[in-house]
A = this chain, B = another copy of it.
Amino acid sequence: MSKQELVVLGRADTDACCPGLLTAPLDEDQAVELAKVFKALGDPVRLRLLSMIASREGGEICVCDLTPAFDLSQPTISHHLKLLRQAGLIDCERRGTWVYYWLLPETTDKLAGILTRPGQPVPVETRS
C-alpha cells in the first residue's frame, strides 16, 4: 500500500486547511470548499461505495467487485466514483482492464477533526 503511505505523509497539508466548523464561523470560501465534500457524501450509493472501498481488506478494491453490489449500470457507478474522487475522498488507478480504488484517509480524518468538539472525546467506533 505505498499509495496510502504517500497520502498519510501528505497530512500536514490538511492541518493548514481545516476550518473549525464547530469552533468559529466559517467564511464563505471555506464553506464552499467544505460543502463540496459533504455533498459528495450526501448520497446513499456514494456512501455505500465509500464504505466498501474504505473497509476492504488490503486497502483497495477493483471496480469489478463494487458494481455487483448495486442494481445500477456501470456508467452510473463510475459517475458516483468520479464524484467521490473529485471530492478528494478516494483515488484510483487503472491496471489493465480494471480500475482499482482506495480511500484517501486524510480527507475523512479532516472531516472527523472539524466535526469534533474542542475538548471532547470522539465516540470510538468499536464495530468490526
Contact = CB atoms under 8 A, between A and B. Distances in A.
Contacts of A114: 125
A76 interface: no
* Size category of the binding interface on chain A: 35 or more
A55 interface: yes
A120 interface: yes
A22 B52 CA distance: 8
B22 A55 contact: yes
A24 interface: yes
Contacts of A34: 44, 47
Contacts of A35: 41-44, 46-47
19 contacts: A22-B108, A24-B55, A25-B51, A31-B44, A31-B47, A31-B48, A31-B51, A35-B44, A40-B42, A42-B42, A108-B115, A109-B115, A109-B122, A112-B113, A115-B115, A116-B122, A116-B123, A116-B125, A118-B124
